[in-house]
Structure formats: structure tokens, C-alpha cells
Structure 1
Amino acid sequence: MTSQTDQPMPSANPQAPPVSGSAKVHHSHRLLYTIIAILVLANGVLMWNLGSLRPRPKIAIVTSGEGPYWDTVISGAQEAARIYDVDLTVIKTRTDVQAQTQAIRSLLGKGYKGVGVSPISPIGQAGILAELANDTTLVTFDSDSPVSRRLCFVGTDNYTAGRIAGEQVHRAIPEGGEVAIVIGNLDKENTQRRRQGVIDELLERPFNPDQAMDPPEQMIRGEKYTILPTIVDHSDPAAATALAIEAINQHPNLKCFVGMLSYSTPAILKALQTTGKLGQIKVVGFDVNDQTLEGIEAGHVFATIMQDQFGCGYHTVRLLAETARGDRSGLPTFQRRTLPVEVINRNNVDTIRALVHEEGIMPEPAPPTQPAAGAG
């Protein structure tokens, strides 16, 4: 007699056919393909988040002049574009409000993820700058326009730099005397603030970056220093030379020139050479170029204020590139990325000249103007 324990166990699913070896292989392949697809998708998401699969952001910068000063600024911008992997468009415009406004307008609606502008007329161009800021991220550089709704400003604290230049005038002519300030135009925020800084320092006024601009056409008298009516050359070096010659002839007690822009000192030196006043009238300038450094070495220029031109271009593009990718951690406090300045005189001119040639502070001229996408 057979016990119950000897009976075979019934199948859980007597209707199910036995699983063949080929079906097992097919199931394994499906599982493998699913795993691979998940890994590919996860890797794609990771690469997208890291920016590897995203299109390179289009960035543009618009200068406010075409002179050699901008070559170093552009070199800094190009270096940042390389490091932060963006497509950079460089537009060098002449120092003309209408021409620059047209260049800015050509960028609207072209898919730029950020634009840097050095405004020529902060008030006169407020409308087009606001329109640009509404279309993309706007950063101002070298010269500011706080009313433009820009993300931030990158450049020199120009009022402070002006006061530093005023300190150099004090040292150049401690006995006092007449001083002539040479400026490109009266609209740009950077040279407005530099000029005011020089005046406030010479008149020993309290430090006030918001000090109202003294009328340029007036003679301003202090206890030791008299500031002559401001020489406005409209960003024309030849005009700067001619107007400096005129000032020398009209003011025999003129003791010192202060040039506000990179071309100002070479233009003033030409005027002094023409009138036989080299070494007799002191010169304090802004920026570094071969003629200015040679003037310092020869004793014809007392000092110049060197700005960080390379850093100006570099940090403008860096901030635009980071913002284009959603990273705002590097934005400066109070919407200003202030760059340092340094006084160059006979004590350190050799060091600076060596630095110029070693690190390329004054590089070869930048490539020709790159047109904006879609611009005619």
C-alpha cells in the first residue's frame, strides 16, 4: 500500500509549457538591453548637467573705442571664452554714440546668452541698454551705466583712481599751480568719475564717490591748485595734442597735465615737445603703453595709473559664461567687480616693462572686429 507521501506533487501550473533555453537567453538579453539603456540615459543626464552636451553659449562684448587700449581687454575676454567654453563675438566700435547704439541693436534677438557693453553715454543710451538687458544678460565693463538694469559692472573704481592720480599731482608739483585735465568726452561714466576724483583730491575735499561733477568750462580755484577749464578732445588724439598746445600757450603758469585716457599721455607729450616744454610741465596719466613708459623712463612723465585691462575683459566674459549656465555664485557683492590699479613711476617702471613683455599686458593687436551674427 502506497502512502500519501509517496505520491508525486502536482504542478503549480499544469498548463504551462516548460521554459526552453532560447527563451531564457532572450529574457537575459532584454534585461541587459534595459540596463544599458538606463546607463546611457543616466550618463546623458549627467553630461547635460555638466554642460558637455549643451550647445556652447553665445556671448558678445561691445567696446567703446577702437584704440590699442582695447586689445588687452579683448585678450582677457578671449582667454575667458576659451576657459569657460563659450562662443565669443567681439565688436570694436568707434567712440561714437550712434555707431555703438547700432552695434548693440544688431545683437538683439540673435540668441546671445549674455552681452558685455562699455557704454559711451550711460544716460543717452539708457533705452537701448534696457532693451538689451530685457533680451539677455547685460554686464557693463570699463564704464558703467547703473540705470541700465545691468547684472553688474566690471572695472576700475574710477573715482578712487582719480584721487590716486590727484595724489601724484600733489607729489609732482607740491608747491601748487595750474593743472589742466584732458578728457575724451564728458558723457562716459568712467572719465567723469576720474576727473572728479582728481579735482576733489587737489581741493582736499572729503572722499565722496557721488560728488556732483564740477562744471567743465569753469576754472576751479583752491588754496594751492587751480584747475583750468577741462580740455575735451572728443576721443581724438590729434585734437588732444592741438588743444594741449593751445593750453600751454594761453596759460604760461601751467604746471601739470592730467590725461584721463590711454592715448592722452602720448598726445600731451607731443604737445610738450612741440612747445619745448618737455620736463618743464609735469604729466600724470592713465594706462600703460610704450610711449607712456618711455616718458616715465626719460623723466617727462611723473606717473601713470595702470588699470587691469586684461582682468576687465576676462571677468566680464567669465560672469556672462557662468550666468548663461545658471551659475550665479560668482556674482560680486553690490553688483560691482572692482579691479585694482597701480601707480607706475620711475621706481617701478623697469619691473612693469619686464612684466609687459613677459606676460603680455600689451599684446599684439587683437583680430579684426568680428561681426555680430546676422548683422549686415
Structure 2
Amino acid sequence: MKKKPTIQMVAELAGVSRGTVDRVLNNRSHVRPDVHDRVMKAIRETGYLSPRQAYQTKLSEVSYSHIKLGVLLPNWTGHFKTEILRGIDAARSELEDFHVEIILKECKTDIPGEVIELLDELLDEEVQGIALCALNNPSIETHVSALNDNNIPVITLNSDLPESRRLCFIGQDYHKSGRIAAELLSKCIPVSGSILAAVGNLEFDGHRTRLEGFLDRMEEIGFRKDQIQVIETYNDYQTTFRKVTEALEQTSGICGIYMANRSVAGCTEAVNTLGMKDSLKIICHDISESTKRLLQNGSIDFTISQDIFRQGYLPMIYLRDYLQKGKLPESEETNTNISIICSQNIENS
């Protein structure tokens, strides 16, 4: 059997040290042109491959068919969009060598029919798997189940469609994060105090589930249902500002605000305008640059963050593994982390 070529064999044939061969292989300086030529000739004659070259050769020998993956996102902007797109771009770069193409579409409204229309457009573009963040609507869940029945796997991200037959969900345990928010707020206000809970859009499973977790834990702690006023603000700054202002003006005794809503600045602006900053405790979710500033200046007390980048990245990786390798994601890998951030640990977030 022919002996496998080694770096020592190359060095001996070229009449140089192993270190010189290594410098040539890694394109380092301080190698004379004639020595470089002798080493390259010895490499060709022996057929030697460096560990990196051997690995790349092994990868190239694995034949993967070209696949298209679709991503459909809601009409959200700001921190969510920035981080989700950063995760998708990271996955796109990583999967290029495996013949994976990623097609992105974004909704312009919160109308369920638009989601279904865009899903059909992705099918027309012959995608073989879809990552989706959408309203928790029966027609959308039925459509996703039909996609599964037609061998188009769907992974939900950030907000789930639990009654659909999706492959898995990538996101935070929102019920748990809502319970954590309740636990924090209950430590900051008297049990006799009133609370305002501002939710983004209850048609999104993530928003609704956060609220359910919050309400469940507050009831366990001893807060009555009539102590907690719920408003829906659709993640819109002006709507949030107006509804929070109205609630604070019309309801006396509010001493805590829970924001399951992306328009945190609309809430804090209402509080500041009414001169109530020092009399209210505010807890929210996620850690955008705006939220960091609000933590630093004391406008909010805590935020509960999640890894949105991974919610954009992981669905692409899992769909590729499923379609090209037949590998299902482990259930414990699908939940992203929960972190509690205050003014003193912003730098670690």
C-alpha cells in the first residue's frame, strides 16, 4: 500500500525544514523564490495535502442538491428587523457552499390574507422550506399545515403557530418570560397597587403568550384581575403614547406598567409628559439601543431580552439540515435564552 504523503516527505524531497514547508503552505513571507518553487514542486510530486486542504477536499466530495429556502417576516421595523436580518444574512453566508439559496419576503400589513398570498408567491418560486413569523390566525395555520402535508417544512420564528403542523418553533419561552416580568414587577410595587399591561398585538402568539404568563403569575402572587388593565397598542408609537396617556389619566393608583410591546418609547414619553416617571415602575422586553438609553436614564427599570439574531439564523440552518441531511432539530435547541437586564448590566447584553 502506498504510504500517505506527509509534510516530512515534502521537506526531505525539497531539501528544507518542515517549518519552511509550513510557511509556503500558509503563504507566509521570508521564503526565497527558488525555495518556494522547490517546495511547490515537492508538494506536487508527493501529492501532499495540508489538513485544511484535506478538509476542503472532503467537503467538495459531498454532493448536495441545490435548495431554495423562503423567509416571510411581518411588517415590523427597528431592533427586531435589524437582528432578524443579521441572523438570516449570517446563515446565508454559511450555507452558500452547500448550494442553499434564501428568498426573503416581508408583509406590509397585518392582514392574514397577505401572509397567505406571500406564502403562495414563495411556492411559485419553488422554495422547498419556509421560515415564518406571522399572525396566529386559523387560516394561516391551516395553510401551514397544508404546506407540511405537501412536504414543504415550515419553521415558525419569534411568534408561533402552535396549532399548525410546523416542523418546530424557534423563539423564547414567552409564557415563562411573562411570568418573570410579573415576578420582577411584584417585587417593585405594593400588592394593593394597580398595573397597566400594554400589549403589541394579541393576534401574534408571542405577544399573547407573554401576557398570559404575566397574568397567571400576578394572580398566583395575589393580584386581583381587576387590578390589571390591559391595552392593545399594535407596536405603534403614537397609539402607545395615546393609550398609555389615557389610561394613566383615567385610572388612579397605577404604580406599575408591563410592556409586552415594541413601542416602549411611546410608553415612557407618555409617563414623562404626565410627570409620573418617579412614581411608576416599568418592565419591558428586548434590548434595542433605544431601550438601553431608557434603562440608563431610569425611564424603565428592567427589560427581559431574547436572542433575536438566533431566531433569524437557526431556522435556515435547521431547514437545510432537514432537507439535505434528513436531520430533525432537537427540541431543547429551539428555545432561545431569557436574560434580565437593568441599568447595571447593559454592557453584558
Q: Partner of 2:123: helix, strand, or coil?
A: coil
Q: Partner of 1:316: helix, strand, or coil?
A: helix
Question: Is 1:91 paired with 2:105?
Answer: yes
1:213-258 Cα offsets, whole Å, 9 max, x none, are xxxxxxxxx4478543310123322111110000010112111111
Per-residue deviation, 1:91: 1.6
Q: Partner of 2:169: helix, strand, or coil?
A: strand
Per-residue deviation, 1:290: 2.1
> Which stretches in structure 1 are left out of the alignment for 5+ residues?
1-45, 206-221, 353-376
User: What does residue 36 of structure 1 align with?
Assistant: none
Q: Are the counterparts in 2 of residues 123 and 145 from structure 1 also a CA contact under 8 Å?
A: no
User: What does residue 24 of structure 2 align with?
Assistant: none
Per-residue deviation, 1:174: 4.5
User: What does residue 346 of structure 2 align with?
Assistant: 349
Give the distance between the partners of 1:151 and 1:295, measured in 2 at CA. Answer: 38
User: What does residue 296 of structure 1 align with?
Assistant: 295
Looking at secondary structure, tell me which structure has more helix per residue: 2
Equivalent runs, 1:139-158 vs 2, <5 Å: 139-158=155-174
Per-residue deviation, 1:171: 2.4
Give the distance between the partners of 2:301 and 2:189, measured in 1 at CA. Answer: 10
1:171-230 Cα offsets, whole Å, 9 max, x none, are 22145411111112222111111001111111117xxxxxxxxxxxxxxxx447854331
User: What does residue 61 of structure 1 align with?
Assistant: 71
Per-residue deviation, 1:287: 0.7
Q: Are the counterparts in 2 of residues 59 and 317 from structure 1 also a CA contact under 8 Å?
A: yes
- Normalising by the residue count of structure 1, what TM-score does the alignment of the two structures yield? 0.71
**Cα separation, partners in 2 of 1:108 and 1:255, compared to 1, 3 Å:** same
Q: Are the counterparts in 2 of residues 261 and 285 from structure 1 also a CA contact under 8 Å?
A: yes
Look at both structures and tell me which one has the larger radius of gyration over its CA atoms.
1
**Cα separation, partners in 2 of 1:167 and 1:181, compared to 1, 3 Å:** same
Equivalent runs, 1:270-349 vs 2, <5 Å: 270-329=269-328, 331-333=329-331, 337-349=334-346
Structure of greater relative contact order (alpha carbons < 8 Å, 6+ residues apart): 1
Moved more, 93-102 or 240-249: 93-102
Match of 2:147 among 121, 126, 132: 132
Per-residue deviation, 1:307: 0.6
Q: Are the counterparts in 2 of residues 183 and 233 from structure 1 also a CA contact under 8 Å?
A: yes
Q: Are the counterparts in 1 of residues 200 and 262 from structure 2 also a CA contact under 8 Å?
A: no
Q: Note the aligned Cα RMSD (angstroms).
A: 2.2
Counterpart of 2:238, as a letter, is: A
Q: Are the counterparts in 2 of residues 183 and 231 from structure 1 also a CA contact under 8 Å?
A: yes
Give the distance between the partners of 1:271 and 1:107, measured in 2 at CA. Answer: 41
1:4-56 Cα offsets, whole Å, 9 max, x none, are xxxxxxxxxxxxxxxxxxxxxxxxxxxxxxxxxxxxxxxxxx8787136x32x
User: What does residue 234 of structure 2 align with?
Assistant: 234
User: What does residue 76 of structure 1 align with?
Assistant: 87
Per-residue deviation, 1:95: 4.7
Match of 2:207 among 191, 196, 201: 191
Give the distance between the partners of 1:349 and 1:48, measured in 2 at CA. Answer: 43
